């Protein structure tokens, strides 16, 4: 649930008053009101201030700033500062510092220098949260609790002896007996059978590839240990302040490889996501839309909160490219289009010191006489005009499978090609759909698919028998399924499904494959229709499927490259090579048409997303191109209040949000 006290689209971001004297704090609040700020996050990195020595607590400074914000009518997302234990903690409990896979213990001086399995860390964090929660429970300014900050980024796995003992406990709970573990891990290979739990190590670096099933389970274990740390604090806050929702901010849904967010979703009162563009990617607005769609998927299709993004450049990429004029506004409104009920930034005021002093802010180093500040003020006005959009929903008939275990397993050692990349395939398919003006939901492999007409499974390498059956049932019931190569190959333990490829999906796809034919670096192959493939090829043999495109050269010349299989009341498509985005778009034209999904004929630089309310809908038209585009509409543009009875012309780089009758 979103905080019930929030109204409209929340606006603001991370605020670090502890970095500034009182007179600057007072000026900050006046400027926040000028910009239209309604919500700020406070306290993320302040453990050393809240607890300057073990067992000694000081909240007076926090009282002052929260009361000052409340007096100004600004609401607070109050963070627990467990992401950054103080120096005294690491000195007193050095075993709580994390150990890398190669055996190096990391030091203090950054953030997230934590072993998530450390009982000392969990105890100290819980003791602080007890006092923090008791002090601010029911405070009228505090509308949301914010646990930690970006679990798993950058630190997630720890290979210390404490983690080893916790891993044993986790394995006992998962498998019950060593016999079951040995079978799941396939330990008869290389003579790795275990006769005692204490003989099992964490998967440290070895002289060659380490058992992939063990490494996959360690990734699951790490996810669960991080989630246990979250629950450790959340449960205290629920007990002390049951009326206030609790969240944590994901480290960018599409980049957070350490955490399986489908397992986190039921544990959160509200989903919050951070998003930072890949600055050097020319069309990074597509990556932004992908992240926002995945956040909405984790939120079960409901509204979510954009907890962080940037007004301009970040500070941690190889080349930190500043945003162009108008780009910040488009980025912000695109998040709202895809379901966010907030636009929050890191950070409010740019820091003068520390590791992130070159990171952009709502109030930059240049102050209020700056282009960024003027854009910030304008955006605040825009969001007030969009207040009624809050709570409305995005609906779509197309789903894309997202599986963190597939991602973990596909990129372990000794796969058929070094060019296999889970994210690369997801990016390609998402971009092709985005350019065809198709809004998508991201779903887990075992999710209920009955509301969708088309489901895409790209590089879904790992599928349990139940998950594969879910996809087959979707097609048999009349759905259209589109599957890429290297999908359905292995089960949940990374053991291959017997009988040849593509494993658990052979029947629904109506094909068989004897062996993989990875291509050489840079090699391309020709397909019918003038299309090209790269990375991968397969000698596809039909078992009921019809060829759609065929290989013209390469190791599998004459074999089908893309197939279509009538299955039950539906259709299953298979793509056995990596197509270009242009090739995927041409394929999707037929796939979408067959699924009964129409596509508007606009330039692929125009983004169209609709949010639905009971009495109306809100069409977001975001023009990422340079040329104006005209879109048929019948409603009111909420950004300028103008009635549009037939059409609206949206200039290059501009955005319109039109309320239309339901």
Residue 204 resides in a domain: no
Give pLDDT, residue 415: 97
Distance CA 218, CA 293 (A): 28
Give pLDDT, residue 662: 87
The domain that holds 373 is classified in CATH as: 3.20.20.80
131 and 93 in a common domain: yes
Residue 3 resides in a domain: no
Number of C-beta neighbours around residue 282 at 10 A = 7
**Residue where a domain terminates, one of 389, 420, 448:** 389
The domain that holds 486 is classified in CATH as: 3.40.50.880
Residue 365 resides in a domain: yes
- Residue whose pair of structure tokens reads 């778009």 in the numeric block: 585
438 and 300 in a common domain: no
Catalytic residue among 157, 287, 308, 607: 308
553 and 417 in a common domain: yes
Q: Quick one: which of 433, 459, 457, 431 has its CA closest to 446?
A: 457
Structurally, the chain folds into a number of domains equal to 3
The domain that holds 610 is classified in CATH as: 2.60.40.1180
134 and 30 in a common domain: yes
Q: Which residues of the chain have pLDDT under 70?
A: none
E strands, 8-74, in order:
10-15, 39-42
411 and 376 in a common domain: no
Give pLDDT, residue 321: 96
Residue 219 resides in a domain: no
Q: Quick one: which of 282, 284, 290 has its CA closest to 273?
A: 290
Domain that holds residue 583: 398-594
- Residue whose pair of structure tokens reads 């879109």 in the numeric block: 631
Contact partners, residue 292, CB within 8 Å, separation at least 6: 273, 275, 306, 334, 335, 337, 338, 339, 340
Give pLDDT, residue 604: 96
Give pLDDT, residue 155: 84
557 and 432 in a common domain: yes
Give pLDDT, residue 254: 87
449 and 432 in a common domain: yes
270 and 128 in a common domain: yes
651 and 506 in a common domain: no
487 and 364 in a common domain: no
437 and 331 in a common domain: no
Q: Quick one: which of 238, 133, 217, 125 has its CA closest to 173?
A: 217
Contact partners, residue 324, CB within 8 Å, separation at least 6: none
DSSP 497: P
What end-to-end distance do the CA atoms of the chain give, in Å?
A: 24
Contact partners, residue 93, CB within 8 Å, separation at least 6: 118, 120, 121, 124
SS3 call for 213: helix
Count Cα neighbours of 507 within 13 Å in the Cβ-side half-sphere.
Answer: 14
Residue 15 resides in a domain: yes
Whether 375 is catalytic is no
Whether 23 is catalytic is no
Distance CA 637, CA 658 (A): 4
Residue 385 resides in a domain: yes
SS3 string, 259-304, reads: CCHHHHHHHCCCCEEECCCCCCCCCHHHHHHHHHHHHHHHCCCCCE
581 and 551 in a common domain: yes
**Residue where a domain terminates, one of 357, 389, 421:** 389
On the 0-12 / 13-18 / 19+ scale of CB atoms within 10 A, 643 is: exposed
Catalytic residue among 150, 233, 467, 538: 150
- Given the DSSP bridges, would you call strands 546-550 and 560-567 parallel, antiparallel or unpaired? antiparallel
Give pLDDT, residue 4: 86
**Residue where a domain terminates, one of 568, 594, 620:** 594
Q: Quick one: which of 631, 639, 633, 635 has its CA closest to 656?
A: 639
H helix or E strand, kind and range, residue 110: none
Residue 437 resides in a domain: yes
Sign of CA dihedral 33, 36, 38, 43: negative
Contact partners, residue 371, CB within 8 Å, separation at least 6: 325
Residue 492 resides in a domain: yes
Report CA-CA distances (Å) from 73 to 37, 40, 76, 80, 462.
Answer: 9, 11, 10, 22, 50
């Amino acid at each position: 649930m979103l905080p019930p006290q929030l109204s409209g689209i929340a606006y603001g971001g991370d605020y670090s008053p502890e970095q500034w004297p009182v007179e600057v704090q007072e000026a900050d609040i006046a400027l926040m009101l000028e910009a239209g700020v309604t919500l700020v996050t406070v306290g993320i990195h302040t453990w050393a201030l809240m607890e300057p020595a073990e067992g000694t607590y000081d909240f007076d400074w926090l009282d002052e700033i929260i009361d000052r914000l409340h007096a100004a009518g600004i609401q607070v997302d109050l963070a627990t500062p467990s992401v950054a234990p103080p120096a005294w903690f690491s000195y007193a409990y050095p075993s709580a510092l994390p150990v890398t896979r190669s055996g190096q213990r990391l030091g203090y001086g950054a953030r997230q220098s934590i072993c998530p399995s450390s009982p000392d860390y969990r105890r100290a964090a819980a003791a602080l949260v007890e006092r923090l929660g008791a002090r601010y429970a029911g405070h009228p300014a505090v509308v949301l609790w914010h646990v930690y900050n970006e679990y798993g980024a950058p630190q997630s796995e720890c290979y210390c002896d404490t983690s080893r003992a916790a891993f044993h406990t986790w394995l006992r709970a998962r498998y019950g007996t060593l016999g079951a573990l040995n079978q799941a891990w396939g330990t008869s290979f290389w003579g790795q059978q275990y006769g005692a739990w204490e003989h099992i190590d964490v998967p440290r670096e070895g002289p060659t590839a380490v058992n992939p099933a063990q490494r996959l389970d360690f990734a699951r274990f790490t996810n669960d240990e991080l989630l246990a740390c979250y629950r450790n604090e959340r449960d205290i806050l629920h007990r002390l302040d049951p009326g206030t929702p609790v969240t944590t901010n994901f480290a960018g849904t599409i980049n957070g490889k350490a955490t399986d967010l489908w397992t986190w979703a039921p544990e959160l009162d509200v989903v919050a996501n951070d998003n930072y563009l890949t600055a050097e990617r020319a069309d990074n607005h597509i990556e932004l839309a992908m992240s926002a769609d995945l956040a909405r998927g984790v939120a079960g299709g409901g509204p979510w909160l954009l907890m962080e993004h940037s007004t301009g450049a970040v500070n941690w990429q190889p080349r930190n490219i500043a945003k162009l004029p108008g780009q910040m506004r488009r980025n912000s409104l695109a998040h709202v289009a895809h379901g966010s009920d907030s636009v929050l930034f890191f950070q409010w005021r740019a820091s003068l010191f520390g590791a992130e002093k070159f990171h952009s802010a709502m109030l930059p180093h240049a102050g209020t006489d700056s282009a960024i500040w003027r854009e910030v003020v304008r955006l605040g006005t825009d969001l007030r005009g969009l207040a009624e959009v809050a709570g409305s929903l995005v609906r779509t008939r197309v789903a894309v499978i997202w599986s963190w275990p597939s991602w973990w397993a596909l990129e372990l050692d000794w796969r058929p090609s070094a060019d296999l990349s889970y994210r690369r395939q997801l990016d390609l398919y998402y971009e092709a759909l985005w350019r065809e003006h198709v809004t998508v939901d991201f779903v887990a492999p075992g999710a209920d698919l009955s509301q969708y007409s088309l489901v895409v499974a790209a590089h879904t390498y790992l599928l349990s028998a139940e998950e594969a059956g879910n996809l087959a049932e979707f097609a048999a019931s009349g759905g259209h399924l589109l599957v890429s190569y290297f999908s359905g190959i292995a089960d949940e333990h990374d053991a291959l499904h017997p009988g040849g490829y593509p494993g658990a999906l052979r029947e629904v796809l109506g094909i068989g494959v004897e062996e993989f034919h990875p291509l050489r670096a840079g090699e391309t192959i020709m397909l019918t229709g003038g299309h090209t493939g790269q990375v991968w090829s397969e000698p596809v043999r039909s078992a009921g499927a019809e060829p759609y495109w065929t290989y013209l050269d390469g190791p599998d010349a004459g074999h089908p490259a893309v197939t279509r299989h009538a299955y039950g009341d539906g259709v299953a498509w298979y793509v056995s090579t990596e197509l270009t985005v242009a090739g995927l778009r041409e394929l999707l034209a037929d796939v979408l048409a067959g699924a009964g999904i129409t596509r508007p004929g606009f330039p692929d630089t125009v983004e169209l997303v609709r949010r639905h309310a009971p009495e109306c809908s809100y069409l977001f038209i975001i023009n990422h191109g340079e040329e104006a585009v005209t879109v048929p509409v019948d409603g009111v543009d909420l950004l300028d209040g103008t009635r549009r009875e037939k059409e609206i012309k949206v200039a290059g780089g501009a955005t319109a949000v039109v309320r239309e009758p339901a």
